[in-house]
Structure 1
Amino acid sequence: MTIDKEKLKALAEAARDYSGSDLIEHESRYNALACEVDPVTVLTLLAEIERHEAWRTAFLAERDAQMRQRDQLRAENEALRKDAERYRAIRDEIPHADLGRAILDVQTADEYDAAVDAAMAKEKSHD
């Protein structure tokens, strides 16, 4: 069921705003509406519907923003995962002699991590 909220609002406002002469002139129509529902109640309910619609719109916008952020974080995570795989391959699979002078003395994975971190810091300082 679709509610024509604008029409309902106009009818409720008209019923609420009847002056004394209008009320006498339209007494039977007003009484029929008054028996069905109070115009102030209708206006209050319409305002509540509008408030909920505004909340829903804001909620959906926030949800969409969070989904975009989630997708961005997933993409960043995937890139980091690939970098970690590359790093582990270099650290664990490539012979140390092939990695250059800076790491020739490295014997353990932790020493290798420290050498890579130092090389990265040195490279960063050149930028």
Structure 2
Amino acid sequence: MSVDKEKLRALCLEVKADSMIHSRIRLALKFDEVLALIDEVERLEKFEDWFVRLDQADQALSASFKAERDLLKLEIYALRQDAQRYRWLREKQTFIWLIQDWFPSDAVLTDVDAEIDAAMAKERAQ
């Protein structure tokens, strides 16, 4: 339910100013308190827009951080693959022989990672 604060304010000021009406009605309400409450509601309403903008900024930052996190996850995955390839090659005692076997002198070296991945997969399958 929406309260017409301006109408309520005007009514309070009118009743407060007219002592005849004021004495006839004999309300238990203190008009200064009603006016103070209206002022407080108006003051708090100013913060509503601020909170909405703050929430939007928070959501934008959250989305930005999630996107950055996802990029970092992809980078970490790629780095782990590279590290795994390096450890696999390093652990091989016949490193030089493997390179010469995989890439003869007349071969064109195009996709070393794919060759390493294939050799690692072949080894895992055994």
TM category (shorter chain) comes to 0.5 to 0.7
Distance 1:32 1:77, change over 3 A: farther
The residue that corresponds to 1:74 in the other structure is 66
Of residues 53, 56, 60, the one that matches 1:61 is: 53
In the alignment, the residues of structure 1 paired with residue 72 and residue 24 of structure 2 have an alpha-carbon distance, to the nearest angstrom, of 70
Identify unmatched segments of 5+ residues in structure 1. Answer: 100-127
Identify unmatched segments of 5+ residues in structure 2. Answer: 91-98, 100-111, 114-126
The residue that corresponds to 2:7 in the other structure is 7
**Shift of residue 33 of structure 1?**
5.0
Of residues 61, 75, 87, the one that matches 1:83 is: 75
The residue that corresponds to 2:27 in the other structure is 35
In the alignment, the residues of structure 2 paired with residue 32 and residue 79 of structure 1 have an alpha-carbon distance, to the nearest angstrom, of 73
TM (normalized to structure 1)?
0.59
The residue that corresponds to 1:51 in the other structure is 43
The residue that corresponds to 1:116 in the other structure is none
TM (normalized to structure 2)?
0.59
In the alignment, the residues of structure 1 paired with residue 25 and residue 40 of structure 2 have an alpha-carbon distance, to the nearest angstrom, of 21
* Structure with larger Rg: 2
The amino acid across from 1:8 in the alignment is L
Matched-pair identity in %: 24
